[in-house]
Amino acid sequence: MTIGQLTIILWGEGCFNIKITKIEPIIISYTLPTPIRTSFGVMSQRNQMILNIHTDEGIVGHGEVWTNYPAWNADEKNILLKRGFEELLIGQNPLDIEGINSRINSGVINSGTGRQWGAYGHIMQAVSGIDIALWDIKGKYENKPLYRLVSESGGRVRDVVPAYASGLDPRDFDVYIGDVIDMGYGTFKVKVGFSDEVDLSNVAKMRQLIGQDRELFIDANQGWSDSEQALGMLDKLKVFGPVLIEEPVAAYKIKDYVKVKAAGLMKVAGGENLYGVREFVEPLEQMSLDLVQPDIAKTGGVTEFLKIIKLAKSYGIDYAPHMFSTGIAQMASLQIMFGIEGGTIMEVDGNPNPFLTEMLSERFVKFSDGSFTIDDSKELPGIGFVLNQDFIDKYRREPKI
């Protein structure tokens, strides 16, 4: 060992001797004024999970774990995080994100128990919250926002990220579509995959409400059984000018995606139900998608998200983050879009949603006129926000058995 190497080790131990002391899952919940309908069910209550990782230096990292479906997902995650992960994380250095992910990989994902359990997606959703919180700690420790940490140049690659309004149900949204249009969105997404009659009626109504100049996406939420059914419906729906179909069939039916894409009726997007970069490999190899939509709170956090978009880029495929949870996942996704090339558009829940609009008391990436921009004068480190503690206290609920 040289003196230089010894110096690095001693300096490293002195400066990076920070340890995880506690992980704290927090469930927040509210009843939706208007239930959100998809081809696979109805969401009448939003149950979300914030994950705080505490350290012995007082830095607290905030992450988010996807818990939208089923309604008891957050309660199950609470047990998973406290019993499956906490012991593995206590005492670890949170700045060693790669090391912790490798520890999780061998200790949970690919452990004998993990493989017997077989709950890979569920585990990766939990990992997402841990990984986002670790990146938040890293940014706070280095006093840098996430986009500077992940960007090749250390700066941003764009000044504006356009957004689209999603989660809108035509059976309700003529009540408030005017408000959503006034927010300046240029693109809207409507759910399909219910029945031929309902889909035709909903898409026609959406096109009528948004006019001819705004862009229309449609999302089947894996509702069609195969490429034949999907292409039959898309052929009927194309008259309304949708430019993109999301998840026409189940995420694992890659050959059907290839056929839908080959028909060339509109772009084919997917990825919100693929977990970790390993589940994106085959869809990308088979060229079954025109656009990947990983969800940072589901697929494994910042670390896996970065791997996925890097792999997609190697096939010439862009990304558009899937996002349907809280402002934490939204801020993390946006910072990646500001830091890494290839991002096209950001999903935003178009319904009234206090978890997006009130949960963060400060944030430096702002929404206005249908898009997001950075306010440099208010730059914050890490994921880039301050949690509104009064809001959390108001919406917090204890886990149930």
Q: In the bound complex, which residue of the shown chain has the CB atom lying closest to Mg ion?
A: 219
Q: Is 219 in the site for Mg ion (CB under 5 A)?
A: yes
Comparison of 169 and 246: residue with beta carbon closer to Mg ion: 246
* Beta carbon of residue 188, minimum distance to Mg ion (angstroms, whole number): 14
φ, ψ of residue 120 to 5 degrees: the values are: -60, -50
For residues 195 and 220, give the distance between their C-alpha atoms in angstroms, rounded to a whole number.
10
Check: CB of residue 124 under 8 Å from CB of residue 273.
Answer: no
Please say which residue, 18 or 245, places its beta carbon nearer to Mg ion: 245
Structure tokens that stand for 323 in this block: 């996002």
Does residue number 169 form part of the binding site for Mg ion (CB under 5 A)? no
Q: Which is nearer to Mg ion, 75 or 246 (CB)?
A: 246
| Residue 191: CB minimum distance to Mg ion, A | 8
Minimum CB–partner distance for residue 223 and Mg ion (Å): 10
Stretch that binds Mg ion, among 60-68, 100-108, 218-226, 351-359 (CB under 5 A): 218-226
Selection from 251, 288, 239, 249 nearest residue 267 by Cα: 288
Cα 60 to Cα 52: distance, rounded to the nearest angstrom: 6
Q: How far is the CB of 101 from Mg ion (least distance, A)?
A: 26
Residue 194: how many other CB atoms lie within 10 Å = 17
- Taking the complex as a whole, the smallest distance from the CB of residue 96 to Mg ion amounts, in Å, to 34
Question: Shortest distance, CB of residue 218 to Mg ion, whole angstroms?
Answer: 10
- Beta carbons of 325 and 349 less than 8 angstroms apart: no
Q: Which is nearer to Mg ion, 248 or 382 (CB)?
A: 248
Amino acid symbol at 264:
G
Q: Give the span between the Cα atoms of 41 and 7, in whole angstroms.
A: 59
> For the CA atoms of the chain, what is the radius of gyration?
21
Q: Which of residues 240-299 bind Mg ion (CB under 5 A)?
A: 246
Shortest distance (Å) from residue 220 CB to Mg ion: 8
What is the distance between the alpha carbons of residues 157 and 164, in angstroms, rounded to a whole number? 20
User: What residues numbered 70-129 form the site for Mg ion, per CB under 5 A?
Assistant: none
Helices (H), 146-226: 146-150, 170-173, 177-182, 196-210
CB closer to Mg ion out of 136 and 347: 347
Give the binding range for Mg ion (CB under 5 A) out of 68-76, 137-145, 179-187, 238-246.
238-246
CB of 69 to Mg ion, least distance (A): 12
Question: Is the distance from CB of 336 to CB of 302 less than 8 angstroms?
Answer: yes
Q: At what angle do helices 301-314 and 120-142 cross, to 10 degrees?
A: 100
Nearer to Mg ion, 121 or 399 (CB): 121
Check if the beta carbon of residue 248 is closer than 8 Å to that of residue 256. yes
Interface size with Mg ion, residues (CB under 5 A): 2
* Contacting range for Mg ion; rule: CB under 5 A; set: 8-16, 199-207, 211-219, 254-262: 211-219
Toward Mg ion, which CB reaches closer, 136 or 246? 246
For Mg ion, the closer of residues 36 and 146 by Cβ is 36
Q: Say if residues 40 and 220 touch (Cβ distance below 8 Å).
A: no
Candidates 111-119, 147-155, 216-224, 366-374 — which segment interacts with Mg ion by CB under 5 A? 216-224
Q: How many CB atoms within 10 Å of residue 56?
A: 13
Interface residue list for Mg ion (CB under 5 A): 219, 246
